[in-house]
Structure 1
Amino acid sequence: MEKATEELIKETAKDIFFKQGNLHATTQDIADAAGVNRSLLNYYFRSRDLLFEQVYNEAVQSKRSQLDEALDADLPFREKVERFIDVYLRDMRKYPFKEAFLISEINHKDFVLKNKKKSAKLISFLDEIAAEMKKGTIRTMDPMHFLVNLFSMLSYPIIMSPLYQQLFNLSHTRYENFIDERKDIILQSIFI
């Protein structure tokens, strides 16, 4: 029962912070949405910041595990990139405000990566990128630029979706279709 209540609180907080984008929600807001009293929330997490940190770290770890799995797949490079794009976009759609939170945290606090260990899968993927450049399947550049470009092409349209929907007068459904088209556009942009 206790574990179920703790998970309910965490899932509710993820929904409020990363789906709804209410990064300033109070412990009372979260407790009300979870259907528990605030003292129970404080019993499990002691403070809003600790809850927020735990929820964020779990969401990042989940995404990292999924991306590592995509990068570790025994697939040709292009299919691996396609899988990476699928995983990244699925997570961004599930939690569209998670990246905005990260940007906010980096710019407004003494941000320190708590997990300084680099992903071995990501380092290996940088080597694969370099090998593909030598083969001529993608443009030659520093592999880090390739990866930053890929992340940018994936995350920026979702982070900026309210602005783009308004700018281009797109309904939510039409914008979702636009995001669906991103995979092919990205692949066309990075492969020669």
Structure 2
Amino acid sequence: MPLKNTGTETLIKETAKRLFFAEGKLHATTQEIADAAGVNRTSLHYYFRSRDLLLEAVFKEAMQALSGRMNECMAAEKPFRQKIEDLIEVFLKDMTAFPYQETFLVTEINTLGKELIENIKAEPINNFLTEVKEEMHNGTLEKIEPIHFLMNLFSLLSYPLIMAPLYRQLFQISEKKFSELIGQRKEIILKMLFTE
């Protein structure tokens, strides 16, 4: 059997990510992905056999990359507030570049099954939740269930970006103005989360 051309395989995956995550074409067909990548559909099927296998590969890479960046922020040897600032920056950078990534990830978990996320390591999150408890004990955060703290943080980050098309229409603002508002999110979120 000939060796696979991983350059073509990578091109197909990166094109699928662009279509799914950046352009929001979550239902792009294999033909649309092949066309956008500049390859024929036979090549796409050679590397991925089916659309589901391509979706799974894209999902796994995206989830590992996002989890890795988040875990790196959470495990860093830095003061807690700096960790939160770093998490916000990483998340906003990812979500601004790929506004439909979260929608894609949640859709695929619901469609392809929860086994896709079984390999996510709980240890970094559990260690971080311990730090959240300590910060609450020290009075820098309001005392709530630590899981709520993380859910609040990620909700404050992701919801405005997921809803961006609706918000731009509802508030009658340009993409530029909306980007300016998103640029203000970090300071707003920090004021909402921290007591001092």
Return the TM-score normalized by structure 2: 0.93
Specify the alignment match of 2:132 in structure 1. Answer: 129
Match of 2:117 in 1: 115
Secondary structure, counterpart of 1:66 in structure 2: helix
Partner of 2:155: 152
Query: For 1:90-116, what per-residue CA distance to the aligned partner results, in whole angstroms no more than 9, with x for missing partners?
Result: 111121111112333455x36314232
List gaps (5 residues or longer) in structure 1: none
- The number of equivalent residue pairs is 191
Q: Distance in 2 between matches of 1:68 and 1:38?
A: 37
How far apart, CA to CA, are the structure 1 residues paired with 2:109 and 2:116? 12
5+ residue gaps in structure 2?
Answer: none
Structure-1 separation of matches of 2:74 and 2:53? 31
What is the correspondence of 1:62-141 to structure 2 with a 5 Å cutoff? Answer: 62-107=65-110, 109=111, 111-116=113-118, 117-141=120-144
Does the residue aligned with 1:23 lie in a helix, a strand or coil?
coil
CA offset at residue 69 of structure 1?
A: 0.7
Match of 1:38 in 2: 41
Q: How does 1:21-36 map to 2 (within 5 A)?
A: 21-36=24-39
Change in Cα spacing, 1:113 to 1:179, as seen in structure 2 (3 Å) is farther
Q: Tell me which residue corresponds to 1:52.
A: 55
Amino acid at match of 1:114: L
Identity over aligned pairs, percent: 51
Q: State the distance in 2 between where 1:16 and 1:57 align.
A: 16
Find the aligned partners of 2:171 and 2:11 in 1 and give their Cα distance: 38
TM-score, normalisation: structure 1: 0.95
